[in-house]
Amino acid sequence: MISDGVNEAGIAYYDNLINEMIKNNIKPLVTLYHWDLPSGIQNGWLNSSIPGYFEEYSDLMFTRFADRVDSWITFNEPAQFIQPYNDGGNPTGADGYDFQEGVTNYIAGKNILLSHGLAVKLYREKFGSPGKIGITLNGGYNEPQTRYEVDDLEAGVNNNVFFMGYWAHPIYKRDYPELMRYRIGERIQPFTEAELDLLEGSADFFGINYYTSGVTFACNHWPWCNGGIGNYCDNPTSCGAGCESWQPAGSPWLYVTPWGIRKLVTRMYFEYGSPIFITENGYSTVDSDGVHPARDAETRGDYFKQHINQLLRSQEMDQVEVIGYAAWSLMDNFEWGAGYAERFGIHFVNRTGDSFERQPKDSCLIVKEIVENNGFPATYSTTTSSTTTDTSTESTTTVSTTKEPETTTNTATTDFYSTDTTNSSLISSMSFILVVFKLLL
């Protein structure tokens, strides 16, 4: 594929970007694949040659940029961009592929994992020392609807296995999770011993994109579907969604659950033993009359404070090795299926004219202050209630930012859910935060 020619204008763009970042004391963390598959690869991630193509592309990226970049991510959220191969949708670059329910998603998944393994092996052998390379998965914590109900607990664990463990297990524990191998059989696309050798240990850190969590409960029992196949048939035991009593954001799927980030990173760290880098964490808003998107201190700003505080608790109280945090996102941008309707940025982008003027939001100043102080200033508190506007219904709701998830039985210790920042032992150090962008005001 590279032999067909290289887009030197594209290379020049990233050359200039990386150089400007370094000039401004910003450490680049480069993701090789964030869902933009080149056209011309027949059947997209179903193509058996695509791991080799990805290795060739990775070699080009490392050759051109590894002299200035020593932190890399192979894939961002494979569970998301693989979804069309699971439900018969329209994957990027794979128009007209032969969809087979319960089959094509696992073929694509194996090719993605092999592509990851080849890129990591190449980087380590040819460019690696002292660089680091990993992968980023997205997920939330599966809070059992009834805390001590065995079936609900099992449903939460199973959901995590199928959503994140599918990708993490081959990298950190050599093969797919046993539960998946047992239920799915040969459809899961078993690895050869050479492929297992390639994947085992193929990440220096575990990137996690965290936005929200959900309530999980047991619904059906495997086997299901009367012998049929498909992703739901493989894991019919886990059902759930967000909780209406939790503070909503602008996206219909996003509720404010800072306690979940601590629970998730603790589970992932003790399951896989890899340093954790939070590569995305953010809060969305939608435009509404009378509320300027830049006035977000009590929504997005408080979201960042609460989640960073819970990460600090993970590090100081749970002994989790958290090595980095990056807020999503630097500015309002194109949010895939939501287009420009949802805003995640800490900089407001004015799209009403042709200038696309960018303005720091209140949350930008909050994050800037946390970074400058290497922690929370003594005057900060995230325990107060805040008034937020549900812009989908244009109604105003007051919610407590310290509220526990309202499950049927909820007697867990308050440490996981408290957002109090008054304990000096928790706010004295935030050295684990690596600043991957500079707030220009």
| Catalytic annotation, residues | 77, 280
CA distance 14 to 16: 5
CA distance 79 to 411: 32
Element (H, E) at 180: helix 178-184
Eight-class DSSP state of 437: S
Strands (E), 109-256: 132-138, 142-144, 206-209, 214-218, 238-241
CA distance 150 to 93: 43
DSSP per position, 333-388? ---GGGTTSSB--SEEE--SSSS--EEE-HHHHHHHHHHHHTS--TT----SEEEE
Residue 435: count of CB within 10 angstroms of its CB: 16
CA distance 369 to 147: 38
Q: Is 249 helix (H, G, I), strand (E, B) or coil?
A: coil
Amino acid identity at 15: D
CA distance 293 to 156: 35
Maximum alpha-carbon separation in the chain: 61
* β-pair partners for 134: 73
Residue 382: count of CB within 10 angstroms of its CB: 24
